[in-house]
A and B are shown apart, each in its own frame.
Chain A
């Protein structure tokens, strides 16, 4: 018998809200184990070359400095192998090679933070510097592109009645969560405990285990709260290893928190690209061919790839497609996945080009998209599990008032402001991975559910509590969900919008098992009112087991356990993840609508309104889902109009490595925003019917704004961010 749904679908407030609004939630750097000392990194001030000397005498002379560690005196660590991404990972202070500006070259450990900071400024490092290559436009790509093809794209382009040949550029973006990366490391003999900002506690265990050559079970990583991450904490970066190494060297717990500036060099970024897109179609607006050539940033020591090509491969019906993805190895630190990775980058050229084609053909941009809706996924020939993109267009157009858009650019004014409307589609793949969750129901009727997952903001503990409460037949108050400790049952990295599908399915499985255990116990217990009942007829609600069609016949978990002298019941839930050979094409979809006002004299763009409509299948908590979508539209404003990491190509330094010069959206930038989720489930994707929503909500925001800017001004900007000077 399936359980009544009471908690899932409810707009419940966050279960950990009080901790977060009272300052009691403990983030990594809030931990200070007894005897903790402070570590501060010294970073390279050249972008490539070798360290020829380190003079730490002045630093060491500071009272309170315990040790200055560099490659000159760091213990040699065992070799590392088989890592992701491919390449040679940056090791902690193991050699004299400088791979990028800002690379850690030494660490100062001192009894106080002030002393460590000052001493770090006194460490003199000399270099044999070499010329750097950090400009994607000036550098050569590697000669082994990742390619894809179907049909004959070049031939079809040649004969297409309508052809667009466009080049798009996107600047590098940095995640910039407000919480900096931070690590507190403590050794107890051979055992290592780490309080870490991480989206993947067990991933941090694997990395530390590999770096130090110690067994994973000698390491514990604790991370119950993550202060935003957007992908940046989905990898264990070198400073975490340096913190643990320093703690071992000074034999004291060490706290190492990156400065805001260091975050621009050390924890990844959304890589810049140049994207050449050729689009061919007929006069009726049917696409016949597309060719996609991307050059994107990677580091020289590792190769980072993202799914930038996917939207151009499967979003629209196109018989002939050719794609090539070329890495440009540069003297930079390795890029890393940032919210909506690949797809958000790839949606900008594809969705802007669709808008350009619609304008060229005199078609409504939504109509053009509808004419190219595919029957199935043409990149895999698999049917879509669910694809409610048409519903997204329809609902969005109605809510936004799309019919009021004047298709003629630069035709609507409000005083000095040029007004425009634009829209774009979005897509993100539904990832699922293996996960487990433990469930324990105590004799007092209270359940504890645990999994080593994470919560960087979506409200993982809340949504998992909802799934568990329904499956156990308890109220949310009777369930506690804990996460963020590597000793808990395994969970995948909290990234790629896979947490709800993966961990949620494991939670449901464990709770189902436990509930069935209790039912089995009851129907076999002569003293139970449920004795002899058909187990399949029994449901549980509010902690009471009863026969569905005879609710008076039943009893509570508490009575059942007490009478049977059971202190608790427990079960382990599991979920296998996506199957090796998928039978469907699994994606979440979005349609984002934006209205902008552009100052006709200054080129200043202000977003006035946005509506986002999403096919993310089942929504566990509409309140949390709304916050995620509004937040992503906000982030998308940054992506479209503000965010731009600027590198000085003379030495590879990032010149705006701070939150005053790297602009992110603020309170004052906020438009009116509305998020709508199309109703529906996707039980082909996973047992709880969700498709994930943290990423899809940002995919398409930037091109929707860019298309609105075109409608407002008649100026087509093919570069993100769209800066005022491009509109003057």
Chain B
């Protein structure tokens, strides 16, 4: 499907009413160490839009504060924006992948307040005050998360595209304690598809990181 149904949030737009020639933009403000940095600007059209645009309204947007990989971010988002698109298109965190945009493949899996979720199915406006951890937030500097290292040790990926989602999902699976047996790991990892067929090795990697191996 080429489109998603826009979801109207109750929060009123913080954008002023638009004019036909006005550039719409979504500002992303990042607060790092107390200094506000404007970044991730998505500029609007350089040319005037068509004349029918006279009647158009700017899309409803909302202001959201959330913590992503330990960094507080305050952003004004289009209410239709998914967490995945916020991460990928506005915060330059492209590690989380869009495989189906419908919650069926798990490539977009991130942790929100410690729980694994499909970020493609989660509207960013819902996440005020949330703590989000993505694949980019797992390693401590150069030191990989034990599950990242286990993926390398077990060769638990081929093309690598589903890998960020598998790893974040695996971190959630371990935290949930669903690692009592290979069967249990397989069951609780089944929301993450791998088309290269690395499941056997992913299961071993989760086992390794869970300390069962």
Mask, B181-213, CB within 8 Å of A = 1, is 000011101101111111111110000000000
Contacts of A114 in B (CB 8 A): 4, 6, 59, 78, 80-81, 85
Closest partner residue, chain A, to B135 (CB atom):
A23
Cβ-defined contact, A21 with B92, below 8 A: no
Candidate in B89, B107, B195 with the most chain A CB atoms within 10 angstroms: B195
**What is the interface of chain B mostly: helix, strand, loop, or mixed?**
loop
Instruction: Tell me which residues from 22 to 73 in chain A have a Cβ below 8 Å from any Cβ of chain B.
Output: 22-27, 29-30, 32, 35, 40-43, 57-58, 60-66
CA distance A634 to B59 in the complex (A): 44
B163 CB–A CB distance under 8 Å: yes
A residues less than 8 Å from B104 (CB atoms): 260, 658-660
Alpha-carbon distance between A626 and B198 when the two chains are bound, in angstroms: 10
Shortest distance from the beta carbon of A196 to any chain B beta carbon, whole Å: 15
**Contact indicator B98/A117 (Cβ below 8 Å):** no
> Quick one: closest B residue to A61, CB to CB?
B52
Q: Is there an interface contact between A121 and B2, defined as CB atoms closer than 8 Å?
A: yes
Q: A61-B52, A178-B161 are in contact. Are A623 and B155 (CB under 8 A)?
A: yes
B45 within 8 A of A: yes
A581-B195 Cα distance, complex, nearest whole Å = 38
The reply to whether the CB of A192 lies closer than 8 angstroms to some CB of chain B is no
Decide: A18 and B144 in contact? CB cutoff 8 A.
yes
Interface with B: A304-312, A358-366, A428-436, A661-669, which one?
A661-669
- A312 to B45 alpha-carbon distance, docked (Å): 59
A226 within 8 A of B: yes
Given contacts A22-B148, A63-B53, A178-B161, contact A111 B44 (CB under 8 A): yes
Is A356 an interface residue, CB under 8 A from the partner? no
Taking a contact as CB atoms under 8 Å apart, the answer to whether B43 and A659 are in contact is no
Binary contact track B39-68/A, C-beta < 8 Å → 1, others 0: 000111111011011011111000000000
A178 to chain B, nearest CB (A): 4
Is B59 within 8 A of A63, CB to CB? yes
**A179 in contact with B159 (CB, 8 Å):** yes
- Whole-angstrom distance between the Cβ of A161 and the nearest chain B Cβ: 43
A449 CB to closest chain B CB (Å) equals 21
The answer to whether B45 and A111 touch across the interface, beta carbons within 8 angstroms, is: yes
Say whether A22 contacts B196, CB under 8 Å.
no
Contact A22–B135 (Cβ < 8 Å) = yes
Residues of chain A in range 659-692 having any CB-CB distance to chain B below 8 Å: 659-660, 664-670, 673
* A112 and B58 within 8 A (CB): no
How far apart are the CA atoms of A261 and B2 in the complex, in Å? 8
Instruction: Enumerate chain A residues within 8 angstroms of B203, measured Cβ to Cβ.
Output: 667, 670
Closest partner residue, chain A, to B188 (CB atom): A667
Q: Which residue in chain B gives the minimum CB-CB distance to A58?
A: B52
Given contacts A631-B198, A667-B192, A668-B190, are A27 and B136 in contact (CB under 8 A)? no
Q: Determine how close the nearest CB of chain A comes to the CB of B70; give it in whole angstroms.
A: 15
Measured between beta carbons, the chain A residues less than 8 angstroms from B37 are none
> When chains A and B are docked, how far (Å) is the Cα of A666 from the Cα of B192?
8
Contact (A62, B195) CB under 8 Å given A20-B157, A21-B157, A178-B105: no
Min distance, Cβ B75 to any Cβ of chain A, angstroms:
13
Would you list 14 pairs from A and B whose C-beta atoms are within 8 A, ordered by A residue?
A17-B152, A21-B164, A22-B144, A23-B135, A27-B161, A30-B88, A117-B3, A117-B80, A178-B193, A179-B161, A251-B46, A252-B46, A259-B1, A665-B199
Besides A22-B95, A24-B95, A41-B2, 13 other CB < 8 A contacts?
A63-B59, A111-B43, A120-B3, A178-B97, A250-B47, A259-B1, A260-B100, A459-B158, A659-B99, A664-B195, A667-B202, A668-B186, A673-B200
List chain A positions with a Cβ less than 8 A from chain B. 13-14, 16-27, 29-30, 32, 35, 40-43, 57-58, 60-66, 111-115, 117-118, 120-121, 176-180, 225-230, 250-252, 257, 259-262, 455-459, 623-624, 626-628, 630-635, 658-660, 664-670, 673
Q: Which 6 A-B pairs have the closest CB atoms?
A: A23-B95, A227-B161, A634-B197, A631-B197, A20-B160, A457-B158
